[in-house]
Amino acid sequence: MALSELNDRLRFVLVRTSHSGNIGSAARAIRTMGFDRLTLVAPHRFPDPEATALAAGADDVLGNASVQDDLVAGLAGTTFALGLSARRRGVNIPELDPREGVAQALAAARRGEQVALVFGNERTGLENDELSRCHAMIRIPSVDDFSSLNLSQAVQVVAYELRTALLADEAQAPVADIDPDEVPADAEQLERFFTHLEQTLDDIEFHKGRSPVTIMLKLRKLFLRARPELRELRILHGILADAQRMADIAHKKD
């Protein structure tokens, strides 16, 4: 697949970055490998002279960076997200090495999907609720007792693996024509579904005083694995709406 076509379907998403210098270094890292789509979710400071200095000329990447308030907005339009994390955290999603992760990212892009590679804050990494929006995590196999790479260096590793895989892609498989109905629902559509699901579970008194957090994480994992299409989500929304309607009738009888 031509690099330009691929580039349009891949974005690097940096979440809550503390040091502007890392944003610049990350821009440089992806630019050297032929990519240019950067999304910044709630950066502590941006634009910033330090970012510009460390971008070392990758100004177009910084200039075109999309800045969003939260990860759901940062993932808008994407159907496949891979979270980069040095640690597994409390979210039980598949763990891939960089090569396998990149292979899956390219396969999704080739199918016409929009793909996000998501990187966490320098100190705290990706939080559970951020990782729970990802289909899988990529762990760069660093040593156990000193596992955390500098953010922009983690970005470089992934960008390098992407480029290597692409250069090795002898077949240069043509990009498939996309049938929008067959593409999985995107991050926002899924988020609307999860909100509706959580509300419905509440309405039918499923939680019975327990915290909804654990069950919602499990259900997220289930639906992210299933990768429902939009028309399938519509059916599920319809079922939930009926359950809510019945719960409402039952409440009125009480």
**86 sits near ligand SAH (criterion: CB under 6 A):** yes
Residue 216 CA, chain-centre distance (Å), reads: 18
206's tokens: 């499923």
Residue nearest to ligand SAH (CB): 125
| Phi, psi angle pair for 205, to nearest 5° | 60, 40
Nearer to ligand SAH, 120 or 184 (CB): 120
Among 62, 108, 151, 185, binds ligand SAH (CB under 6 A): 151
Q: Decide if 11 contacts 26 (C-beta within 8 A).
A: no
**Number of residues binding to ligand SAH, judged by CB under 6 A:** 19
Residues in the chain: 254
CA-wise closest residue to 193 among 220, 221, 226, 211 = 220
| Nearest of 236, 243, 241, 244 to residue 219 by alpha carbon | 236
Nearer to ligand SAH, 122 or 203 (CB): 122
Stretch of residues binding ligand SAH (CB under 6 A), selected from 55-63, 85-93, 166-174, 183-191: 85-93
Residues near 231 by Cβ (< 8 Å), separated by ≥ 6? Answer: 181
Q: How far is the C-alpha of 51 from the C-alpha of 27, rounded, in Å? A: 9
Q: Find the binding residues for ligand SAH in span 154-183 (CB under 6 A).
A: 154
What is the nearest approach in angstroms of ligand SAH to the Cβ of residue 228?
Answer: 27
Q: Is 42 in the site for ligand SAH (CB under 6 A)?
A: no
Question: Nearer Cβ to ligand SAH, position 83 or 184?
Answer: 83
CB of 188 to ligand SAH, least distance (A): 22
Figure out which of the listed residues 24, 43, 74, 120 binds ligand SAH, where binding follows CB under 6 A: 120
Task: Rule CB under 6 A: say whether 128 interacts with ligand SAH.
Answer: no
Query: Of 119, 131, 186, 233, which one interacts with ligand SAH (CB under 6 A)?
Result: 119
Which candidate, 230, 225, 132, places its Cα nearest to that of 190? 230
Q: HSE (CB half, 13 Å, CA atoms) of 44?
A: 13
- Does 35 bind ligand SAH (CB under 6 A)? Our answer is no
- Shortest distance (Å) from residue 104 CB to ligand SAH: 15
14/233 with CB nearer ligand SAH: 14
**Smallest gap, in angstroms, from Cβ of residue 35 to ligand SAH?**
16
Contacts for 30 with CB less than 8 Å, ≥ 6 apart: 12, 36, 37, 38, 58, 61, 155, 159
Residues 6+ apart with CB under 8 A from 90: 128, 217
> Residue 123 CB, nearest distance to ligand SAH (Å)?
6
Chain residues in the site for ligand SAH (CB under 6 A): 84-87, 119-120, 122-123, 125-126, 138-140, 142, 147-149, 151, 154
